[in-house]
Amino acid sequence: IIFFCDVPPEQGNGGESVICDVRETLSKLDPEIVDKFDRLGIQYRLYISSSGKYKSIQNVFGTTDKVIIQKFMEDRGYGHTWENDGSLYYWSTLPAFRTHPKTKERVWFNSASLGHASFFRDHPCYAGMDIPDDKLPYTCYYGDGSEIETETLRHIRDVMWQSTVGFQMEKGEVLVYDNIYSQHGRIGYTGERKMYVTLITN
């Protein structure tokens, strides 16, 4: 994955890029947590509503035609259900780990830390709102549909921050890194910031 910094935020306005080494994360995680995710996998559940602070079905799928959307789901092995108000739930269950195609190393490869409903509880758009977990834009569970424990999520997030570095990109700088070995993000910011990104596969 390649990032290009066109407009960096002004000094002191935040916006640092952060990169987490998921090999280091895996080495530091509690073995019992690793074993549970290994056995059960992780289920991602998404919700698209016809109202509120959500992307529209048209925006996500490029259509509102349920036949086309159904085929999209079937082709990718997603489960889905429509609500009476036109809202859509869809989900998939995936392994929590991935083997690097070149080095054959097993790495922590999932979105449990950011893909869980608890992430939204402190999000500026949703903080303080009385919304059930399954009515937030997305959340995740163990692969059998059971809840991921609060302490487990806290441990994962703590370990990931221990495995993370942060820095401010400058105008014109290019950042290239392996998207299997690393997870990326940014710190919140004020003012202007413009980054371009592309993903290369082979």
Residue type, 2: I
Burial class (CB in 10 A: 0-12, 13-18, 19+), 61: middle
Q: pTM here? A: 0.87
pLDDT digits (tens, 9 = 90+) for 125-164: 777 778 888 888 889 999 999 999 999 999 999 999 999 9
Q: Domain ranges in the chain?
A: 32-148
Per-residue pLDDT band at 53 (split at 50, 70, 90)? low
